[in-house]
């Protein structure tokens, strides 16, 4: 097959963060398929372009054998505020449309769009219609609900437009893939989508990398180099945005100020500077911020930590999602502090992989951190439980082949 993937946040080789489609496309290419990726020039959690993109509207390269990537312009206003984020979305829609119809040669067997942002569907829908190929629409987040619940999207006209376009995408998609069983239930029960049109292939753990590093990272030396000796290190990896509400981590750190707990926040986003200011104002010497690093380094941080936390704002929509980093923590044998209710809570409890924290309740967060500090053997066992559960149920290689078979069934 020849697959056209529209993915605004397809990672660079050196990028940190989740890599669902970087790994999926690698597997598909190894199976003999050709993938062309249309992606943005700005990482989802970054605010600036890499220097090689300066002054360029398009940048194309062979990412790896069988995978060709076209990077398209995204406004650098992306992480400034809501209007900047909105313009970042639509600047990519405009540049990706130009790339698809004037730069990228076909033919393709299908076009796969992964959302959010929902608006990338504009490109996918037009490509599907004009090139007469099946459209696969992946729902990684229930958008616009999540944007409305977090207060990011408030304009009534934009909300109506977003719901209309969401409905249009569902109607025109040959296949809709969702990442959680809660998404599947919502689409069937609340949005009236036929079950036969939906598949559920979730995110997964990257055991290729974690198994490569487990046992090889000198944890003692790594921690010593970072000044983590004698500390109970809680690591967070991911976006520092409105939806993540990392203020609750800082308030937890304030409660644990006189303990050996150290909170390490790795990533970037719209709220990062504000979070740094809160930490400075409160004198939180037990909070450390790191910028984005490559995935190998991220895994080294996680493997060397005592716990990993998954954190989101307390809204009902987030009860339906899995946090991407949860799977990475599992793959790295790290016990999880799960500050997300709903199916994420259920996942950690079924796997025995950590403790549930009441979202936006720093007192409860602090209590759970103290429990892990006081019960190191039980905490270590939770990390192992999560690893074995993910190995059996959430292995990326297995899910990647399952996804590929779904796509082959459309062609």
Residues 239 and 382 reside in one and the same domain:
yes
- Cβ count within 10 A of residue 392: 10
Residues 188 and 252 reside in one and the same domain:
no
Residues 312 and 196 reside in one and the same domain:
no
Residues 46 and 129 reside in one and the same domain:
yes
Whether the CB-CB separation of 137 and 169 falls below 8 Å is answered with yes
At 4 the pLDDT is: 98
Whether the CB-CB separation of 355 and 338 falls below 8 Å is answered with yes
Q: What are phi and psi of 89, to 5 degrees?
A: -60, -50
Pick from 94, 36, 98: which is nearest to 69 by CA? 36
Q: What are phi and psi of 44, to 5 degrees?
A: -55, -30
C-alpha span between 359 and 149 (Å, rounded): 15
Helix 156-172 × helix 120-131 angle, to 10° = 40
Q: Mind giving me the DSSP string for 287-312? A: EEEE----HHHHHHHHHHSSEEEEE-
Residues 141 and 252 reside in one and the same domain:
no
Print pLDDT tens along the chain (411 aa): 999 999 998 988 766 445 789 889 999 999 999 999 999 998 765 556 778 888 899 999 999 999 999 999 988 776 666 677 778 788 999 999 999 999 998 899 999 999 888 889 999 999 999 999 999 999 988 888 877 877 767 788 888 988 999 999 999 999 999 998 889 999 999 999 999 999 999 888 888 889 999 989 999 999 999 999 999 999 999 989 888 999 999 999 999 999 999 999 999 888 999 999 999 999 999 999 999 888 889 999 999 999 999 999 998 889 998 888 899 999 999 999 999 999 999 999 999 999 999 999 999 999 999 999 999 999 999 999 999 999 998 888 888 999 999 999 998
Residues 311 and 290 reside in one and the same domain:
yes
Chain segment 137-160, per-residue pLDDT in tens: 999 888 888 778 777 677 888 889
Residue 368, domain extent = 207-393
Is the alpha carbon torsion for 34, 299, 272, 345 positive or negative? positive
Residues 18 and 131 reside in one and the same domain:
yes
At 78 the pLDDT is: 64
C-alpha span between 23 and 40 (Å, rounded): 18
At 113 the pLDDT is: 97
Strand order in the sheet with 135-139: 58-64, 67-72, 34-40, 2-6, 110-115, 135-139, 175-178, 198-200
Residues 60 and 94 reside in one and the same domain:
yes
Q: Which residues pair with 339 in a beta bridge?
A: 311
- Total domains, the chain: 2
Residues 292 and 356 reside in one and the same domain:
yes
Hey, is 94 helix, strand or coil? helix
- Cβ count within 10 A of residue 387: 23
Residues 107 and 216 reside in one and the same domain:
no
Number of H helices, E strands in the chain: 16, 14
Q: What is the residue whose two structure tokens read 């895994």?
A: 299
In the chain, the largest separation of any two C-alpha atoms, in whole Å, equals: 63
pTM of the predicted structure, to 2 decimals? 0.80
Is the alpha carbon torsion for 210, 215, 220, 224 positive or negative? negative
DSSP 205: B
- The enclosing domain of 55 has a CATH number of 3.40.50.2000
Residues 9 and 158 reside in one and the same domain:
yes
Chain segment 14-64, per-residue pLDDT in tens: 664 457 898 899 999 999 999 999 999 987 655 567 788 888 999 999 999
Whether the CB-CB separation of 67 and 25 falls below 8 Å is answered with yes
User: Can you point out the beta strands (E) in 181-274?
Assistant: 198-200, 232-237, 261-266
Whether the CB-CB separation of 379 and 271 falls below 8 Å is answered with no
Residues 157 and 213 reside in one and the same domain:
no
Hey, is 398 helix, strand or coil? helix
Whether the CB-CB separation of 200 and 139 falls below 8 Å is answered with no
User: Can you point out the beta strands (E) in 312-383?
Assistant: 336-339, 354-356
């Amino acid at each position: 097959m020849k697959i056209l993937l529209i993915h605004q946040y397809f990672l660079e080789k050196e990028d940190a963060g989740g890599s669902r489609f970087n790994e999926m496309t690698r597997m598909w290419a190894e199976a003999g398929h050709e993938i062309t990726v249309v992606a943005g020039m700005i990482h989802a959690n970054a605010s600036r372009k890499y220097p090689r993109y300066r002054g360029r509207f398009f940048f194309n390269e062979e990412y790896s054998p069988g995978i060709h990537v076209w990077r398209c312009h995204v406004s650098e206003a992306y992480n400034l505020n809501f209007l900047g984020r909105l313009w970042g979305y639509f600047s990519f829609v405009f540049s990706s449309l130009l790339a698809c119809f004037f730069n990228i040669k076909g033919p393709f067997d299908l076009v796969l769009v992964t959302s959010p942002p929902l608006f990338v569907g504009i490109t996918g829908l037009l490509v599907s219609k004009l090139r007469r190929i099946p459209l696969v629409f992946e729902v990684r987040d229930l958008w616009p609900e999540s944007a409305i619940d977090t207060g990011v999207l408030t304009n009534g006209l934009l909300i109506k437009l977003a719901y209309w376009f969401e409905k249009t995408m569902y109607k025109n998609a040959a296949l809709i893939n969702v990442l959680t069983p809660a998404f599947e239930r919502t689409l069937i029960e609340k949005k009236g989508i036929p079950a036969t049109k939906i598949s559920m292939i979730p995110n997964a753990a990257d055991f290729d990398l974690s198994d490569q590093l487990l046992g090889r990272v000198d944890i003692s030396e790594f921690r010593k180099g970072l000044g983590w000796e004698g500390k109970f290190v809680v690591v967070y990896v991911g976006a520092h945005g409105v939806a993540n509400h990392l203020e609750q981590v800082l308030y937890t750190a304030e409660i644990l100020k006189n303990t050996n707990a150290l909170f390490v926040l790795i990533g970037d986003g719209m709220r990062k500077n504000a979070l740094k200011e809160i930490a400075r104002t409160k004198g939180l010497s037990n909070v450390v911020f790191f910028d984005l690093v490559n995935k190998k380094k991220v895994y080294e941080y996680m493997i060397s930590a005592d716990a990993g936390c998954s954190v989101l704002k307390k809204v009902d929509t987030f009860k339906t999602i899995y946090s991407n980093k949860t799977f990475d923590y599992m793959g790295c044998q790290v016990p999880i502090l799960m500050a997300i209710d709903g199916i994420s809570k259920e996942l950690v409890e079924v796997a025995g992989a950590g403790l549930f924290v009441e979202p936006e309740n720093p007192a409860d967060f602090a209590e759970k951190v103290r429990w892990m500090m006081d019960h190191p053997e039980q905490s270590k066992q939770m990390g192992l439980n999560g690893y074995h559960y993910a190995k059996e149920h959430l292995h990326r290689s297995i899910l990647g082949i399952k996804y590929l078979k779904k796509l082959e069934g459309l062609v």
